[in-house]
A = this chain, B = another copy of it.
Amino acid sequence: MMIGSMSLKNDISLKIDPWGTIDIKDYSELFATFGIEPIESILKRIKKPNRYLRRKIIFGHRELGKIIDAIEKKEEYAVMSGIKPTGALHLGSKMTAEEIIYFQNLSNKSKVFYAIADVEAYCDNGLPFNLTSEIAVNNLADILALGLDPNRAYVYRQSEEIRVMNLALIFSRKVTKNTIEAIYGERPLGLYLSALVQAGDILLPQLEDFGGPKPVLVPVGADQDPHIRLTRDLARKYSNEFKFVLPSSIYHKLTRSLSGDIKMSKRDPMSLLTLEDVPKLAKKKIMNSLTGGRETTELQKKLGGEPEKCVAYELCLFHFCEDDEKVKQIYQECINGERICGNCKTEIADIVANFLDNHQKRKSRLVRISRKLLEKN
């Protein structure tokens, strides 16, 4: 499958930092350094790979085999993720949400665990619980509109899930400063504690209250692997007491910001595409986004464009074009110099606007269910 790759082979850097500036230029290095397996090693065991798997946007994994085993044997497994409710759901969170939905749908023995990190939102962003509570209802409605089955999902607010906090407290006794500094570097106490709470989130599905030990899949961005390593380390340390199965993980490439920054972030609103953007605004944002175009139309026709650099192309590849042939066609036309950026972006902006329009209609009918789901727990 000849799909354009986002990796820029020349600038190899491995500064993986889930909280700080992202600087991952060559994902393949992750394989060697941290023991993440390339996704190819297991792809043939997955019957209907989704867009992210087919296109190697999910590029690596740890022990995904445990999940596939559970699916094949019709045994229970969990898929775990979460969100910090600080604003509208952007494309980065959409990717994670679609991954949990995909793995939820692969078996009726699956259960999704979704954490609303409202305590983090309070600590990091100063957002009070009554505000984040509403944001969470909204975020969850988006995820339902993307296809989450609420009947096999446990969605909880961090501020209300004491079991996660208890796990964090318990873990704090056996995690040494050396371990945590080796993983995260020298950090403020609060960030270490956040990491322990996240480990609690990931291991929650294996508590007796939720049916005990089971395989758990955590889909994450490439920058989040430190949390997975810490959690696996803790699962190992507490294996006698809790019989934890070491959690599995899959790693996706980061969705870049519209201006081409390595990770889409809520900090820069105009570089951010969210599922709540009015379609017209979304179009404007896309028209302003970074492309892989040449300096002049002449050069573009002569040399072809550089889709690897192009955010608009990435929107297609990662998010909005389900049809592989269509993506290939765009790629080919671009490198052949047959596409001019203005027209191309208009085409892609229309696809996105259409998606948003449909999504927002679906979502409007799901807000009530979202609220109920969050109130129940």
Contacts and interface: CB of A to CB of B under 8 A. Distances in A.
Interface of A: 119, 122-124, 159-162, 165-166, 168-170, 172-177, 180, 188-190, 192-194, 196-197
Contact of A189 (B119, B162, B170, B175): B175
A169 B169 CA distance: 10
A169 B165 CA distance: 9
A355 to B, nearest CB: 37
A159 B164 CA distance: 10
Contacts of A190: 169, 172-175
A60 B168 CA distance: 36
A189 B188 CA distance: 11
16 contacts: A119-B169, A119-B170, A123-B172, A162-B162, A162-B165, A165-B165, A165-B169, A172-B192, A172-B194, A173-B188, A173-B190, A175-B189, A175-B190, A176-B189, A189-B189, A193-B196
Given A123-B170, A170-B122, A170-B123, A189 B165 contact: no
Given A165-B169, A173-B188, A175-B189, 9 more contacts: A122-B170, A123-B172, A159-B162, A162-B165, A165-B165, A169-B194, A172-B193, A175-B190, A180-B189
A152 B194 CA distance: 35
B169 A193 contact: yes
Contacts of A192: 172, 189
Given A160-B162, A162-B160, A162-B162, A177 B169 contact: no
Nearest to A180: B189
A287 B194 CA distance: 52
Contacts of A173: 123-124, 188, 190
A191 B340 CA distance: 61
A319 B175 CA distance: 41
Nearest to A159: B166
Contacts of A193: 168-169, 172, 193, 196
A33 to B, nearest CB: 25
A83 to B, nearest CB: 17
A89 B194 CA distance: 35
Contacts of A194: 169, 172
A172 B189 contact: yes
A168 B162 CA distance: 12
A194 B168 CA distance: 11
A197 B168 CA distance: 12
